[in-house]
C-alpha cells in the first residue's frame, strides 16, 4: 500500500472500499491504479451506481451491440453487464483477497431490488449470480428487510459471501447478526467449512441525518438545532456497540470463531455528507475503529485521504455521548425508530428499485437503437 493516510486509517481498523463501479474505470486502468494510489481494500455497487455508469459515455456500446445481435432481452443484458463488471473488478482485487486471507478484496453485486420482498425469488437469483460471476471474492448484496433476513441466512448456509445492505436501525442490525450466526451454525451442523465465508452489515449513515435534521428544523428550538448533524453518527456508534456485544464478546460467536468464522464487520455506507455545511469527511472521521469497513464515493474518499482523521473515534466515551444525544432526541419527540426501521428502509428499497427499472429501460432503448442500426447496415 503506497498511500500513507489509507495505511493509517487501516491500522486504526477501517478498510476503505470504493462505492462506485463502471466499465470506463475498468477499461481505462483507472481502478487498477487506484488500488495502489488510494489503498483501496474493496468495492461496492448498486443499481443507482450502474444506472449512472450506463447512461454516461460509450463504454457499454460494444456490449449492447453484441447483445442486440444475440437477441438478448433488456433484463438479460442488464445482468450480463453488471456481472461482467463485477467479475473484472473481482479479478483486480483477487491478489488482495489472497494476501489478506479473505479479510478484504471483495466486490459487491446487489440482488434485484424489485424482488426485495420475495424471499424465494431472491434466493434463486443469488444461486444464479454466484454461479455466473464465479469468483471467491464476490459479495452478494441482500437488503436488510424482513424478507431479506432469511435470504441472508440461507446464502451463508450455502457458503456465499453476503453484504447486508440498507440497515438503519440497531434493532434490525441485531436481527441481522442473529441470522448471520444462524446461517453459519446451519453450515457447521451440515459438516461444511465456514472459514472462507465473509459478510459485512452495511449501516447507512447520511440519510439518517437528512431525515432527522428536517424534523429538528421543524421543532426549531435551541436544543433541537444543537443535535443537527449528530444523530446519524450517534446511531451508528450505538450499532457498533451492539456489534461488539453480539459478535466480539459473545460465547455463541466464539464457538463459531473456533470453527474458523470471520466476524461480520460493520460497514458504514452512504458516507458522503448531504449538507454542505458539514465537514466532507464527517462520516469517515467519526466512525473509525477496529474491524470496520467504510465504502465511499470517489470525492469523499479523496477528501478522507487528503485531510481526514486517522485516530480511533469508536470508543466508550463517544458511545456514552451517542446515547445521551439519542436520549435528547427522544425527549424532543422525534421517533427515531419510525425513521430508521420503517421510513428509510422503504425509501431505500424504492430508490434502488426505481434505479434498476430506469437502468433496464435505458438498456431497452439502447438495444432497440442497436437493432435498428444493424437492420439498416
Task: Tell me which of 141, 274, 330, 368 is the catalytic residue.
Answer: 141
d(CA 261, CA 151): 19
Give the phi and the psi of residue 14 in degrees, each rounded to 5: -110, 125
**Grid coordinates representing 303?**
477528501
- Residue 32 among the catalytic residues: no
What string of H, E and C letters represents the secondary structure of the chain? CCCHHHHHHHHCCEEEEEECCCHHHHHCCHHHHHHHHCCCCEEECCHHHHHHHHHCCCCCHHHHHHHHHHCCCHHHHHHHHHHHHHHHHHHHHHHHHHHCCCCCCEEEEECCHHHCCCHHHHHHHHHHHHHHHCCCCEEEEEECCCCHHHHHHHHHHCCCCEEEEEECCHHHHHHHHHHHHHHHHHHHHCCCCCCCCCEEEEEECHHHHHHHHHHHHHHCCHHHHCCCCCHHHHHHHHHHHHHHHHHHCCHHHHHHHHCCCCCCEEEEECCCCCCCCCCCCHHHHCCCCCCEEEEECHHHHHHHHHHCCCCCCCCHHHHHHHHHHHHHHHHCCCCHHHHHHHHHHHHHHHHHHHHHHHHHHHHHHHHHHHHHHHHHC
114 and 353 in contact (C-beta within 8 Å)?
yes
Rounded Cα distance between 338 and 151, Å, is: 24
Nearest to 152 by CA among 114, 193, 200: 200
Record the cell numbers describing residue 116, joined without a space: 426485495
Diameter of the chain measured on Cα atoms: 69
Which of the residues are catalytic? 141
Amino acid at each position: 500500500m503506497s498511500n500513507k493516510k489509507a495505511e493509517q486509517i487501516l491500522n486504526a481498523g477501517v478498510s476503505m472500499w470504493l462505492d462506485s463501479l463502471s466499465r470506463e474505470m475498468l477499461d481505462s486502468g483507472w481502478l487498477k491504479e487506484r488500488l495502489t494510489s488510494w489503498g483501496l481494500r474493496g468495492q461496492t455497487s448498486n443499481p443507482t451506481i450502474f444506472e449512472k455508469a450506463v447512461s454516461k459515455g460509450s463504454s457499454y456500446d460494444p456490449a449492447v451491440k453484441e447483445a442486440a445481435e444475440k437477441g438478448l432481452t433488456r433484463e438479460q443484458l442488464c445482468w450480463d453487464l453488471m456481472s461482467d463488471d463485477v467479475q473484472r473488478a473481482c479479478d483486480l482485487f483477487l491478489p488482495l483477497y489472497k494476501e489478506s486471507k479473505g479479510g478484504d478484496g471483495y466486490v459487491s453485486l446487489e440482488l434485484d431490488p424489485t424482488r426485495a420482498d420475495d424471499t424465494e425469488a431472491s434466493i434463486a437469483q443469488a444461486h444464479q449470480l454466484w454461479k455466473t460471476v464465479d469468483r471467491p471474492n464476490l459479495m452478494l448484496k441482500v437488503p436488510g428487510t424482513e424478507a431479506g433476513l432469511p435470504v441472508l441466512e440461507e446464502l451463508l448456509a450455502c457458503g456465499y459471501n453476503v453484504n447486508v445492505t440498507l440497515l438503519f436501525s440497531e434493532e434490525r442490525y441485531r436481527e441481522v447478526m442473529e441470522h448471520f450466526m444462524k446461517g453459519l451454525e446451519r453450515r457447521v451442523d451440515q459438516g461444511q467449512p465456514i472459514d472462507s465465508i465473509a459478510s459485512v452489515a452495511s449501516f447507512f449513515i447520511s440519510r439518517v441525518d437528512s431525515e432527522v435534521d428536517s424534523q429538528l428544523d421543524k421543532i426549531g428550538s435551541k436544543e433541537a438545532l444543537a443535535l443537527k448533524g449528530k444523530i446519524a453518527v450517534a446511531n451508528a456508534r450505538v450499532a457498533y456497540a451492539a456489534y461488539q456485544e453480539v459478535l466480539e464478546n459473545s460465547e455463541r460467536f466464539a464457538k463459531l470463531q473456533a470453527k474458523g468464522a470471520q466476524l461480520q464487520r460493520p460497514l458504514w455506507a452512504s458516507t458522503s455528507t448531504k449538507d454542505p455545511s458539514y465537514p466532507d469527511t464527517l462520516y469517515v472521521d467519526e466512525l473509525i475503529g477496529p474491524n470496520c469497513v467504510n465504502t465511499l464515493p470517489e470525492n469523499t474518499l479523496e477528501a478522507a485521504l487528503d485531510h481526514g482523521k486517522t485516530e480511533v473515534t469508536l470508543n466508550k466515551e463517544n458511545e456514552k455521548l451517542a446515547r445521551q444525544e439519542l436520549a435528547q432526541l427522544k425527549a424532543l419527540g422525534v421517533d427515531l425508530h419510525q425513521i430508521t426501521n420503517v421510513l428509510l428502509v422503504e425509501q431505500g428499497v424504492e430508490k434502488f428499485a426505481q434505479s434498476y427499472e430506469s437502468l433496464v429501460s435505458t438498456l431497452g432503448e439502447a438495444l432497440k437503437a442497436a437493432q435498428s442500426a444493424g437492420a439498416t447496415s
